[in-house]
Structure 1
Amino acid sequence: MRRKFKNEHILGGIILTGLFIILIIAIGILWIFPKFMKQRIYKKMTDALSHKEYAELDQILDSFWCTFSYKPYNREFMRLTSYTMQGDRKKIEEQYESMFQKLRMSKKQKVPLAKRAFYFYLETSQFGKAQEMLSICKEDPNQNEYHVMQMMYDILAEKKSNHIQEIKKNLDQLKTQKDAFTKEANRVRIGVYEFLIGLQYHYLHNTKTSHSYLESALKHCHHTPYEPMIQEMLRQ
């Protein structure tokens, strides 16, 4: 009897040990597999974007594994990026409206989205919506960026001309940087500053100075949403 009890005790210990090992393996799989799938899905999405395979990207974003791996905000932000790359204004507008109306967002998520929407609405002359986005961006901890956005709204929407000296100072500082004209982002910023200065001189009826800044801005804002706006101004 003792031997039988001992054998049963050993067998029970082996079974418990086996179950414990299986449990550890299962936990490991449940922890590692989602991470693996998330990385795999991310690579698929970025590959589709880089190859401009937008229909395929939509299928990935709506797939089970993407829904399982990524939160709605991240998926819809990627969809917004796709529409932006396609230059589809209607889809971009619908996506902004959908995201602000349907998604629950933290301040950390809402402010960056509002910034992006602000520039889109400003560039498409939807000033009422741009103002709504600007009011959201008041909560941005980066108040320097918010100040620049406020100046852009003043100039483009309200046609104010009281920011010439400040923007000239920003422009001069930017031009002193080593990569001012070689780095695309800085080159475009230079063009935007020149555009904003040119606009303000236009409001002041100083056509000669206005055209001088706008012609320079046109070179630096080539292939950007500002290019047609600058061209329109130069035709006036």
Structure 2
Amino acid sequence: MTRPQDPFDDRAMPPPADPWATIDRPVPTVYLGNPDTTAHVVPPAQRSAPPPAIEVRFGPGVPVAAPSWPTAPAAPRRPRWRRLVSILSSLLTLALVVVVGLYLWQRLSPLVVESATVAVPKPAGNSCDVTVNVVATVHTNGKSGTIRYQWIRSDNPPSAVLTEQVGSGQRTAALTLKWTFNGVGTTTETATLNITEPTPMQATTKVAYRCRR
């Protein structure tokens, strides 16, 4: 409705806005190009002198290309004679270690006297003015060392300290006492082996003498 004093406007009025016009509309699709297109990404710091760029592919079914890293060159093989020399050197070193170990084991392991016996292998019988051999047999643990001992006769004071050297692997040692008898008569004496080192020990036997003229 218009009033007579108002100027007449013959322009058509725009239709009223529909408040439901923007609801349930599909989101517009933005196309960035072909999905199989290859894009080259270059870091900004390397754009002045571009090195080989990492290639990144986009799109379904396109494998990702892994960068190739430089491999270290293979070490050159040693000549056969050098390997032989190295093996021989190792064997000689092992043999030297074994020899030194055995030597130290022999030196550090002490000699031990395990037992001792004294006997008269050949008695005097009824002979006169004879010399009787009294023999002591000493058993050891086979180590090298020195046996210190003395003979004690029933008719004399103990003798001076004597020594007997035994080597490695020697498990027995024979110690001999020569006892001389003179005159007419009958007697029975004793001979005692007294070991002072390395293991204090004693062994005794009887010595008989008979002389009838």
The verdict on a shared fold, with TM-score over 0.5 as the criterion, is no
Higher relative contact order (CA closer than 8 Å, sequence separation 6+) = 2
Instruction: Choose 1 or 2 for highest CA Rg.
Output: 2
Q: Give 1 or 2: higher helix fraction.
A: 1
Q: Give 1 or 2: higher strand fraction.
A: 2
What TM-score does the superposition give when structure 2 sets the normalisation length? 0.26
